[in-house]
Amino acid sequence: MVEELIEELYRNYLTKSYLRGYKMDGRLVIGTLCNTVPEEAIHSCGAIPSRLIGSSNTPSKIPSWVCIYAKGVFESAIRGEFDYITGIVSSTSDDTKIHLYSAMLFYLKPERHYLIQLPYQKDGDAEEFYKNEILRLCKKLTGSDLSEDKLNKSISIYNRFREFLFELDSMRGEEKPKISGVEWMKILLSSTAMLKEEINKYLLKIVEEAKDRDGVGDYRMRVHLSGNDFFNIELIETMESMGFAIVSDDFCTAGGYYPGFAGKSLDGLVRRYLSQSACNLASENSLKERIEFIESKVSSSNADGIVILRDRGCEVCGHQCPFIMEEFRDIPTIVLDVDSGVTEQYQTRLEAFIEAYGD
């Protein structure tokens, strides 16, 4: 039953049937480019925030060496694959996201758009500034002021969503994981393609039913996956078929996306987003915060090893990888460059890794 629910969600993700339905109902679907975008605020304006994930990897208008995520989104966008979105919102979290936003404005001319200026400091001035950014975002997208009542309702919906994900993520970390890496990634990807109140209905059932699962105990090695805007299900499938149990991750499209509950009101939302540290460069001590985040994930999931899935075009991975390797030198760690997208190429190295450190 869990399997069926997840497959139903994932089919919807692939077809974008919900998003297209929202658009047909006259609702605004806003494509977002980063998990630093406060979705709750967009949601409270009556719009549907949807993190864009592309399917193409053949760049024509942006350099071939930038990250897989940016290439995929941009090329899918110019091919018209995101015909259901009315607007785009990004933030100044990293250079690629900033210029991806700019390129999309330049070539696609979306009806509505906003770039959130993310403060790097985390003091009172920064909170005030970010609060105003959210107010401006809402005004720009809808022409109306943000409503605190509506925002509080949206925050509740998102917090409920985060609670479900927290429960499911915890089940991955059990001795016999009850949710596989593929299932987890499918749920997270699906969450980009429908309203959170809709997916919450599915998640309620999935959580309840997953609790009764026996879990998988015949794995050879428990690993944490580290990376950024990762969405390659095929690679996770390959790993699981080799005997890896994917017990946690810090991807900003998955394990790094949901942590942190927002308190009620705009102040609560601001504090949640400014304290988010999963992969956010735009912070005074992003490296330290990221290492601490990975440590907490590895520790809570009892991972025996770390697989760093490094996108060679990703500036976050590019700068942080040596420090992460150094910090986790006492844990078996392997770095795979994932820019080719061909999973067969990784098998030999993963086999050697699991032979060396797995049961």
120 belongs to the binding site for another protein (CB under 8 A): yes
Shortest Å distance, C-beta 46 to another protein: 21
**Of 181, 313, 332, 358, which lies in the binding site for another protein, with binding defined by CB under 8 A?**
313
Residues 121-140 that bind another protein (CB under 8 A): 121, 125, 129, 132, 136, 140
Question: Is residue 282 a contact point for another protein (CB under 8 A)?
Answer: yes
CB of 235 to another protein, least distance (A): 19
Q: Does 335 bind another protein (CB under 8 A)?
A: yes
Window of 17-25, 55-63, 154-162, 182-190 that interacts with another protein by CB under 8 A: 55-63
Q: Which of 292, 323, 340, 359 binds another protein (CB under 8 A)?
A: 323
Q: Is 65 in the site for another protein (CB under 8 A)?
A: yes
If DSSP states are collapsed to H, E and C, what string results for the chain? CHHHHHHHHHHHHHHCHHHHHHHHCCCCEEEECCCCCCHHHHHHCCCEEEECCCCCCCCCCCCCCCCHHHHHHHHHHHCCCCCCCCEEEEECCCHHHHHHHHHHHHHHCCCEEEEECCCCCCCHHHHHHHHHHHHHHHHHHHCCCCCHHHHHHHHHHHHHHHHHHHHHHHHHCCCCCCCCHHHHHHHHHHCCCCCHHHHHHHHHHHHHHHHCCCCCCCCCEEEEEECCCCCCHHHHHHHHHCCEEEEEECCCCCCCCCCCCCCCHHHHHHHHHHCCCCCCCCCCCHHHHHHHHHHHHHHHHCCCEEEEEECCCCHHHHHHHHHHHHHCCCCCEEEEECCCCCCHHHHHHHHHHHHHHCC
Of 8-16, 184-192, 220-228, 278-286: span binding another protein (CB under 8 A): 278-286
Is 79 a binding residue for another protein by CB under 8 A? The answer is: no
How many of the chain's residues bind another protein (CB under 8 A)?
Answer: 50
User: Residue 151 CB, nearest distance to another protein (Å)?
Assistant: 21
Binding mask 90-119 for another protein (x = CB under 8 A): --xxxxx-xxxxxx-xxx------xx-xxx
Q: Select the residue interacting with another protein from 312, 331, 343, 347 (CB under 8 A).
A: 312
Q: Which is nearer to another protein, 79 or 201 (CB)?
A: 79
Chain positions contacting another protein, by CB under 8 A: 61-63, 65-66, 92-96, 98-103, 105-107, 114-115, 117-121, 125, 129, 132, 136, 140, 281-282, 284-287, 310, 312-315, 317-319, 321-323, 325, 335
